[in-house]
Structure 1
């Protein structure tokens, strides 16, 4: 019997843009065909998607962020998980591999490089947000 989204905990991810680049992480163990992802993880009991995105970003990357807005929700086509996408703004710290058991690498990715990291494309509301948020950096080149 196939797993349904009810069998898997919901996940919240942070969409973080700073200096015209998107923060991405590479996990030590892949989930399906996802080598690179956005920082995030499972919602804990009583936690909102915004709270989970902020907490997971700090735990994984050491970067303190604040939630700006929820960009959208969907069942991820590759993982079958309910996903919450939250735009976040950096407050303090430098992104690095803070959780060495879970992460292998972090990267700040230019708009033009996103397809190299996410060849299957991003969730449309996330892509639209990034197109707008990273527009200045693209024009500055």
Structure 2
């Protein structure tokens, strides 16, 4: 019997969570390449779609219950090479906190003008367009 192996890593789902005019960002304990600050995100598990994974990861990482609104777009991330899905989410309940201290160092609510300070290399165009429309400048 042979064991099937694959070099293909699962895709990542990122939750774009907006509340009170700011977007939720988290700082990983270990940066992935140039990525330090990013959206709550994690691997899409077998049987999940990106929306389900984004909702689950937000609860696991920051302790907030969110609802997926829509898939904003998908791409291969230019810095990590990982397949990424970006999901707009609405807050249902909870106050964000570092719920997964092994993965996260801190979190922040980031206003539109602050985004370049947290993500100096820019955001994926569909995500930036969504934030441009959702976060009044």
Structure 1 length normalisation: TM-score? 0.91
Could you tell me which residue of structure 1 aligns to residue 127 of structure 2? 126
Q: Give, in angstroms, the shift of residue 15 of structure 1.
A: 0.4
Q: Give, in angstroms, the shift of residue 9 of structure 1.
A: 1.6
The alignment yields a C-alpha RMSD, in angstroms, of 0.7
Which consecutive unaligned segments of at least 5 residues does structure 2 have?
A: 1-6
Deviations 1:18-77, CA, capped at 9 Å, x for gaps = 000010000111111111010010000010000000000000000110000000000000
CA–CA distance in structure 1, aligned partners of residues 8 and 74 of structure 2: 17
CA–CA distance in structure 2, aligned partners of residues 118 and 26 of structure 1: 11
Say whether 1:108 aligns with 2:102.
no
Q: Give, in angstroms, the shift of residue 108 of structure 1.
A: 0.2
Which consecutive unaligned segments of at least 5 residues does structure 1 have?
A: 1-5
Which structure: greater helix fraction? Answer: 1
CA–CA distance in structure 2, aligned partners of residues 116 and 96 of structure 1: 21
CA–CA distance in structure 2, aligned partners of residues 31 and 25 of structure 1: 13
CA–CA distance in structure 1, aligned partners of residues 10 and 80 of structure 2: 11
CA–CA distance in structure 1, aligned partners of residues 77 and 36 of structure 2: 15
Moved over 2 A (4+): none
Q: Counterpart of 1:60 in 2: which secondary structure?
A: helix
Query: How many pairs does the alignment contain?
Result: 131
